[in-house]
Structure 1
Amino acid sequence: MPAQDELRSTLDQLHTHLQKQTYNQTTPLLSRAKLALLHLNALIPTPDTPRAHLLLARETLELGALLAIRQRAHDTFTRYFQQLQPFYALPESVLPAAGGHASKITGLYLLQLLSQSDYLSFHMLLETLESEGGGVRMGDKEVQYPVRLEQALMEGSYDRVWGETKGSGVPDDEFRMFSEVLIPSIRHEIASCSERAYASVPMANAKNLFFLDSEGAVAQFAKERGWSIQDGRIYFPNQEELTAGDKDIMSTSGTVIENTLGYARELETIV
């Protein structure tokens, strides 16, 4: 079977596994697909690479990236993202954006940087997109989603972050997977701010304040943080033991979580 036909058959199988979420059989298929690209001399684009081969190569690498996200293999996803950059940099006349997922893959990578608190790389990539663009449009929902999350995080609007990760604005299932990383990170950030700004908070508000599902989960989280629970309240470590630097942060911390506390109280009245 010619390499191009074999590659097409392999990619069709990968699409099927992605749709059925049967990921354990995809690694050998991806290896076979990349070997076929090598035979076609298309794994890295050159001026002589036919458009048909460029399209197959981009499809292969994007499938690998999406499968890596689904399997939570973030280092592997990063490698696929890097391999895709020469393809995304090609002009529309050489490699049309239609049929590809440049904005989706880029948005997912931005979200991964955000979940790793790598704000420097996040903004460097955004600046690159604004100046060069390629197949990625800044106005696309897949790119705007991590941009909105980053803005809310920088403002300390954790309720907005929570709403974004749970609402209808999430572009796709792959984006939802990052809430597993983002929300725990936000939870610990709110906890640190709470410890600096307050002596205690009502247990009734804590479930929504820390984005937890039950009071049992709150109790477990409090135990992990070294907090005590008495008479329906969570008590934080003695603020007299905080350093002078910590005390300087207290006023800022109180401002940062005030909206979140208010959000928690509003949720509590609804529930």
Structure 2
Amino acid sequence: MDPKLTEVAQLFERFKAAFVRNDFDTCSNFLSQLKVKLTEFRSLPPLFEDTPNAIRELTLARDIYEHAVVLSVKIEDQDAFERDFFQLKSYYTDARDRLPPSPQEYPILGLNLLRLLVQNRIAEFHTELELLSSAALENPCIKHAVELEQSFMEGAYNRVLSARQTVPHETYVYFMDLLAKTVRDEIAGCSEKAYDYLSIKDARQMLLFPSDRDLLAYVEEVTFTVTCIFSFFHIESKLTVLLQRD
């Protein structure tokens, strides 16, 4: 095997070992080194030269960028996600005829759709959908994102919030939590205008929180005044009781 390819493969193994340990600082350091070393492979996009180790280099590079996308979710860096995804995307499109399918392709494509939905980039969401094959659209990861977008646009917020329990891949939880907060902020904003008073029970059911404590944590986090939506003394007394239990 080519010494450069061997070096990159060994460094990638160290990256994956750190990833398993959840040592994401070390992962980020290794990833920076890997990206630099990948620039030495002329078989990779945009050149796509037919070198003796082209298939191995393309496969390894694709695997590295797939891990980079997942790492960006783990460290909650949406900018890094976008950069790494667009570098990875060419391996799914331009190199499709050269490489066997990746089992991570549909989960990552679905994850990107979910990111666009969270960022309210609906036009880009639909553009990405139009580029997918009919087979891809039937994949559970893609269907999950499509159904979420439909529920969101219809205002069926209960379906959006409950969808967290049925995510097709564990990496989706990060974006689902962001989407859930967006939805709850929307519901809370509407409630502020529609109701003079809501009991804790009614507010918890409306916002689909599993417990009063989760509701109260949300109320403390959001910026609108508690009294605009809930009875302040009701919230305060309930919070005091819960804290005393601890």
TM-score (structure 2 length as normaliser): 0.81
Q: Given the alignment of the two structures, is residue 196 of structure 1 paired with residue 193 of structure 2, yes or no?
A: yes
1:206 Cα shift?
A: 0.8
Q: Given the alignment of the two structures, is residue 12 of structure 1 paired with residue 16 of structure 2, yes or no?
A: no
> In the alignment, which residue of structure 2 is the partner of 1:179?
176
> In the alignment, which residue of structure 2 is the partner of 1:106?
109
Instruction: Provide closer, same or farther for how the CA distance between residues 216 and 84 of structure 1 changes in structure 2, counting only shifts above 3 A.
Output: closer
Q: 1:216-235 residue pairs with structure 2 within 5 A?
A: 217-218=215-216, 221=219, 224-228=223-227, 229-230=230-231
Q: 1:124 aligns with which of 113, 122, 127?
A: 127
Question: Counterpart of 1:225 in 2: which secondary structure?
Answer: coil
1:45/1:54 contact within 8 Å kept? no
1:58/1:100 contact within 8 Å kept? no
The more displaced of 185-194 and 224-233 is 224-233
Q: Write out per-residue CA displacement over residues 113-138 of structure 1, whole angstroms, 9 at most, x where no aligned residue.
A: 111111111111111224xx7xx812
Q: RMSD across aligned C-alpha pairs, in angstroms? A: 2.6
> In the alignment, which residue of structure 1 is the partner of 2:76?
72
1:200/1:233 contact within 8 Å kept? no
> In the alignment, which residue of structure 1 is the partner of 2:144?
145
1:43 Cα shift?
A: 4.2
> In the alignment, which residue of structure 2 is the partner of 1:26?
27
* Number of aligned residues: 227
1:58/1:84 contact within 8 Å kept? yes
**Unpaired segments of 5 or more residues in structure 2?**
236-246
Q: Which has the higher contact order (CA 8 A, sep 6+)?
A: 1
Instruction: Provide closer, same or farther for how the CA distance between residues 100 and 43 of structure 1 changes in structure 2, counting only shifts above 3 A.
Output: farther
2:106/2:141 contact within 8 Å kept? yes
Q: Percent identity?
A: 27
2:24/2:71 contact within 8 Å kept? yes
Q: Take 1:19 and 1:211, find their aligned partners in 2: how far apart are those partners?
A: 33
Instruction: Provide closer, same or farther for how the CA distance between residues 142 and 231 of structure 1 changes in structure 2, counting only shifts above 3 A.
Output: closer
1:107/1:146 contact within 8 Å kept? yes
> In the alignment, which residue of structure 2 is the partner of 1:62?
66
> In the alignment, which residue of structure 2 is the partner of 1:260?
none
1:45 Cα shift?
A: 4.5
Q: Write out per-residue CA displacement over residues 173-217 of structure 1, whole angstroms, 9 at most, x where no aligned residue.
A: 210111331111111111122233334333321123123442584
Question: Counterpart of 2:198 in 1: which secondary structure?
Answer: strand
> In the alignment, which residue of structure 2 is the partner of 1:41?
42
1:47 Cα shift?
A: 4.0
Q: Take 2:148 and 2:187, find their aligned partners in 1: how far apart are those partners?
A: 16
**Unpaired segments of 5 or more residues in structure 1?**
235-271
Q: Take 2:131 and 2:35, find their aligned partners in 1: how far apart are those partners?
A: 28
2:144/2:168 contact within 8 Å kept? yes
